[in-house]
Structure 1
């Protein structure tokens, strides 16, 4: 606490030192002329009279407020532009020494006709950096528009997807997913897969979250901002898509906007398929027996989600009320049909080879119901407000089903099993937040949150008896379990804005209570922890729109239940898993420094980052019995990531926008296990190049390429791979109908290779996506449906299937 107090004091002292007499500036606030809601995403350009190139450029903050600092004396024209709105030009603005020109509220009028002409000159920037987050504009990625949130994130620096479709950001899958500031029905990659791209306005990536946010998730939070309707009357959209992989999706959203209230209904039917050719060679040494196996064949994955949702919003003069409900059914499947060859050798004996056909099937589904309620009261228009919210999710009749058979070449079952994990899940969250501005430049925020997750169920397995030619129940594997985690959190944040300098510092205190019960003897655990998580964000805008951001955040990754389940399960016949009830949370310290410079319609940004992680959680693989490996989650030690992200957005000619995103970082794993791993380090890098071409008034073409460099783990490495995508978008029927055709991995170059090596195990896996993958999406809107935020990648997930086998 002493260190934290010193840190907060230094932040405030620095801000006071940097404060100075007012320089010439122009400021104002952007609002929608129809809905009167603030606009927090627009280009504000300042031109000297007679010039065609802007001298300064900025964007509004979450309250719609913009400010151009240190404006040189002279006569200027201010231009404000945003897709879907009429361009605003304020001419003959005279600035002299010490002039502070406050333009007040500037109303932007939504366009009804002629929007296409505006889009050419007012294309949204793909990536916008703010004090505590990055904002990815969904509309800038044509390839992404045919899929889900995962597709849109493809061209974001440091995003990777492994062969099972799991997203990692800067080498970690430990991120939280929110939708409009509320926790998602699902978690991680699965949550992003279930959100149709057509419903997304922006995606916020918060890599060093402030103390106001949940601390769980080591690399931060991905917050999906969905489209809302701002024009009066009934409006809506329908999206329909399919692919050569037989993936299919249909979703709709209807909204009725009245004077003070708004209601919406929506739904989706989604099956996102992945198809790959799988090839794995595995050698295990158990005692004096060596087993070499080789499995080859196709694998198919399917993430499915069938749901209906609805909501209601009431906007009074000082109070807002929101109610949202959602229900449905969802989960994911995986199927494989392998040719399996196994050769076993015992010392002193001749090798014995057996040939099988291996058939496996996995399904994890549940019925879903959730509801949320929030109310916000504004004491004044300066930001003094209080808000409360509640969220509840029920997951019922959840079942994980594992099926696997080894048949001889005549089709007779030789070995097999059936496994069932029946579960029920509940999530509860309640928040109370208070915000108090002071001294015109500062703000104090404080709040409380209660979070609870409960899951209970049982695990059972049937095993094939070749002698009796029947299945029997394995009583030694049957297990019941109960898991409950409760977190009580309080936070406080102090922030201020002095002219060019922004500062925010806060701390969050969390008490965590965890209960794990199991019928496995000696597996029950009860744990209690109280911890502090500080955060600091600093920003400074230099002359000519140079901007520097500094941030620090401490976070944690709490073990999920499947990390701790103390009993053996089988993913397939030759891959078993077991949890670790004593696994510890990860603790992460993240530092970032971001520099950004805009020049006209072009921009460049660079982010230096350093992350240290204690008690890193990683999946380890060891030999179990002859030909069978055992996977388990373990605290392997420490890891360190230090590197730089670069993003350059250029508009060289009127018909061509190009964006290059890349990152390079040194990654090091310091192993602290007695066995099963070693110290490893690598230089990781990837490059993403996106090109958007305007071929006509209603036609766009996108060509992008991705190169993903090699990486290391505690037990091995993954190789580099690359691929390219092509997409074309055509607008029809006065822009009410949009058709998008996307071709993924057009050169058939993507190939995922993983190599695990220890003293008694070698596992070499090669996975290549099926070819071709072509996707067609049709989107229809009526009543000029426009995205309005409620607040302020070709899918690499589609490419591979099967790494965990």
Structure 2
């Protein structure tokens, strides 16, 4: 606290010194003429009527408000402008509150289909990139993952792992609210049709939680427009599989989602629900060997067989907002859902043991491993928020969020004789249950000072998780460390934080800078250990961003942010799980979080037909968390979460959005980076040297053709090159898609045919090879997933649904799914 108080005083004094006597003040609120939603970052420029010179300027905030102070008395005209809207001129201003100013979408941005305005596809702001979800046709009917995997710096591999600028760790926000959940789980439960746009916050300011190595993805959901009733319904079904992978079951693919919004006077009510069944067939080919230097032997156990998924999830969401008056707004939300995943890996193993020196065969055996991993989770949470606006335009907001989840499942691992698979060699059952409770309380204050805004806040976070893990082996085994595989865990996390930042604009320069302080306590208790594992951290997280407009078309930006990638409770759990016949997986209760320095430097260019941006970025990572391998037994590898020394990453990302002619649009995003990880570490007390470096890149793009007023076709592709890991590399991964869409009933009804994971027998789509190696082992696995999937999507909307739908999503539980 001795540090926090002077910090607040210092930042406040900076803001106060910027103020001085003013003779005239001009203010107003800028909104979209069609959606009635606020327009953020619109420029308000004040010109003298006498000589047309620029006198002063400002930029609108998140609520569309702007204010120009310290203006000499006189006659002026105001120019309001923002990309994608018609410029508006207000003449003969003598100074006052101009009230609400409406901007109309630019005629060049209007679609030929119907009369609704089409939002510009992507925008670059001081600390983030913004992308409209509607531009990705192949995502419709899918989930949020299908939307974000198209963004320039985001990629998704064959395992469903999502990376942002090459980092698997990043934070997810839903309408600006933190979601401390597993990224893949959270995004898979959000229907793509309900998403308005996505923001990539690449250099987050101090007002955001510092969680997430790669930055922040903010998902903005839709709600109703104006005072009316809005309805959106989407259904999707899969056609029969085009390829037979000889899996035990045929895949089932169907689902639907619905969003209802009602806005009238002081009330804004929204509700939504969705159900998705999305199975996938697949195949796996693996090759592994381990070396036993004491016995001078090498054991090989290649395998091949089915690897398929049965998956479904459903959820219901509701929110209500009540504006008692323009200065007081209270809102509440509720979310309840379930996710289920069943992964089947039925593999035939060919085991051989040979002399390491001569290669002479010692013994060999074949067996069949039937492996079924089940994960289930129920998620229930609610939030309550209140915002008060004072007379001087300052705001005070407070929010509470509570969550209770129940995660459970296990792995059934059967080793069977071959070819007579009715005879069981060994059966292992690994059941678990992990209930979670989490709570968050925060208070934020924002006040105008000088030409900018001073924002400050306090927050308290708390979560606890209990785990019960069992390990049953039939027939009984004399495994010496058997009791290590059973037990209970109890983990508690507490985080206290305070921040303050100042943001504003001076002419062509936008800026923000601030500092966040956090004190965190982590406790992990194990049933077989009398001593708790404790970690207390006290850290400062500074941030700074600038954006300079060189002209109407060109702008440049620079940013810095200190981040932290916190450990999940799963990564802290040291009780091993028999994930496969050939693998164990366990965590480390003393695992340290990652600390990351992010820096970026970029340029943005806007032209008549579209826009382009390029950004150089750098990450310095301390204590990178990696899942590394070691040898547990001759036929079993141990995968352990550990801190792998130090890592560095630098790269270039770029994006192009262009409409060469009115019926053709092209979007292209690319990310090129170099990743290096190195250090002398220990895995389960065994010394290991980590050193790996490689260039990697990803390309995401789509092109759309408006064939006539009702027919549209879009081709898209996502490509991820080979990329380095702590002990090897992940192979390249390609996913092409085609969507054909027909609009009916003046655009209210839309029918689409989706051709997903296009392969046609020649492209090598939707498969990826994962390779890891060390002094005593080598493993490579080729994951081959289903291709040429055909889906039909039907969507109907009654009135348009736009802007933010403030529905809560899992705060902690889904991260642990």
Q: TM-score range by the shorter chain?
A: 0.7 to 0.9
Contact 1:644 1:663 in 2 (8 A): yes
Sort the Cα spacing of 1:385 and 1:59 in 2 relative to 1 into closer, same or farther, 3 A. closer
Q: 2:458 aligns with which of 429, 448, 464?
A: 448
Using the alignment, how far apart are the partners of 2:95 and 2:659 within structure 1? 32
Using the alignment, how far apart are the partners of 1:59 and 1:728 within structure 2? 40
Contact 1:655 1:693 in 2 (8 A): yes
Using the alignment, how far apart are the partners of 2:270 and 2:117 within structure 1? 29
Using the alignment, how far apart are the partners of 1:59 and 1:358 within structure 2? 63
Contact 1:185 1:191 in 2 (8 A): no
Q: Residue 322 of structure 2 aligns with which residue?
A: 314
Quote the RMSD (CA, aligned, Å).
3.8
Contact 1:176 1:187 in 2 (8 A): no
Q: Residue 337 of structure 1 aligns with which residue?
A: 346
Q: Residue 787 of structure 2 aligns with which residue?
A: 771
Residue 736 of structure 1: how far off its partner (Å): 1.6
Could you say what secondary structure the match of 2:545 adopts?
strand
Residue 162 of structure 1: how far off its partner (Å): 2.5
Contact 2:348 2:368 in 1 (8 A): yes
Q: Residue 51 of structure 1 aligns with which residue?
A: none
Sort the Cα spacing of 1:390 and 1:76 in 2 relative to 1 into closer, same or farther, 3 A. closer
Using the alignment, how far apart are the partners of 1:121 and 1:321 within structure 2? 31
Query: In the TM superposition, what whole-angstrom CA distance separates every residue of 1:462-519 from its partner, at most 9, and x where no partner exists?
Result: 1121899xx9x96552201100000010111112211111121111111111110001
Query: In the TM superposition, what whole-angstrom CA distance separates every residue of 1:544-603 from its partner, at most 9, and x where no partner exists?
Result: 331111110001112111212122221122110121122111100000112101112321
Query: Any stretches of 5+ residues in structure 2 without a counterpart?
Result: 21-25, 46-57, 69-76, 242-250, 807-817
Q: How does 1:8-27 map to 2 (within 5 A)?
A: none
The number of equivalent residue pairs is 754
Using the alignment, how far apart are the partners of 1:564 and 1:343 within structure 2? 35
Using the alignment, how far apart are the partners of 1:435 and 1:350 within structure 2? 74
Q: Residue 798 of structure 1 aligns with which residue?
A: none
Residue 80 of structure 1: how far off its partner (Å): 7.2
Using the alignment, how far apart are the partners of 1:294 and 1:568 within structure 2? 23
- Between 336-345 and 546-555, the greater mean CA deviation after superposition: 336-345
Q: 1:246 aligns with which of 245, 252, 255?
A: 252
Contact 2:234 2:795 in 1 (8 A): yes
Residue 673 of structure 1: how far off its partner (Å): 2.0
Tell me, yes or no, if structure 1 residue 405 matches structure 2 residue 414.
yes
Q: 1:377 aligns with which of 388, 391, 395?
A: 388
Residue 366 of structure 1: how far off its partner (Å): 2.3
Q: Residue 71 of structure 2 aligns with which residue?
A: none
Tell me, yes or no, if structure 1 residue 175 matches structure 2 residue 167.
no
Query: In the TM superposition, what whole-angstrom CA distance separates every residue of 1:364-412 from its partner, at most 9, and x where no partner exists?
Result: 21222100000000113x640000000011013x212111112122122
Q: Residue 48 of structure 2 aligns with which residue?
A: none
Q: Residue 395 of structure 1 aligns with which residue?
A: 405
Q: How does 1:228-377 map to 2 (within 5 A)?
A: 228-243=223-238, 244=241, 245-286=251-292, 287-288=294-295, 289-315=297-323, 316-345=325-354, 350-377=361-388
Residue 530 of structure 1: how far off its partner (Å): 1.1
Query: Any stretches of 5+ residues in structure 1 without a counterpart?
Result: 20-25, 46-57, 69-74, 792-805
Contact 2:223 2:270 in 1 (8 A): no
Could you say what secondary structure the match of 1:38 adopts?
coil
Residue 65 of structure 1: how far off its partner (Å): 6.0
Sort the Cα spacing of 1:515 and 1:90 in 2 relative to 1 into closer, same or farther, 3 A. closer
Using the alignment, how far apart are the partners of 2:664 and 2:515 within structure 1? 45
Q: Residue 749 of structure 1 aligns with which residue?
A: 764
Tell me, yes or no, if structure 1 residue 622 matches structure 2 residue 630.
yes
Using the alignment, how far apart are the partners of 1:737 and 1:270 within structure 2? 21
Using the alignment, how far apart are the partners of 1:15 and 1:687 within structure 2? 47
Q: 1:606 aligns with which of 611, 614, 617?
A: 614
Q: Residue 545 of structure 1 aligns with which residue?
A: 553
Contact 2:15 2:502 in 1 (8 A): no
Could you say what secondary structure the match of 2:223 adopts?
coil
Q: 1:707 aligns with which of 715, 719, 730?
A: 719
TM-score, with length taken from structure 1: 0.86
Sort the Cα spacing of 1:496 and 1:115 in 2 relative to 1 into closer, same or farther, 3 A. closer
Q: Residue 796 of structure 1 aligns with which residue?
A: none
Contact 2:560 2:598 in 1 (8 A): yes
Using the alignment, how far apart are the partners of 1:115 and 1:598 within structure 2? 18
Q: Residue 789 of structure 1 aligns with which residue?
A: 804
TM-score, with length taken from structure 2: 0.85
Q: Residue 64 of structure 2 aligns with which residue?
A: 64
Q: How does 1:2-81 map to 2 (within 5 A)?
A: 29-32=29-32, 37-40=37-40, 62-64=62-64
- Between 627-636 and 655-664, the greater mean CA deviation after superposition: 655-664
Contact 1:283 1:291 in 2 (8 A): yes
Using the alignment, how far apart are the partners of 1:344 and 1:621 within structure 2? 20
Contact 1:146 1:775 in 2 (8 A): no
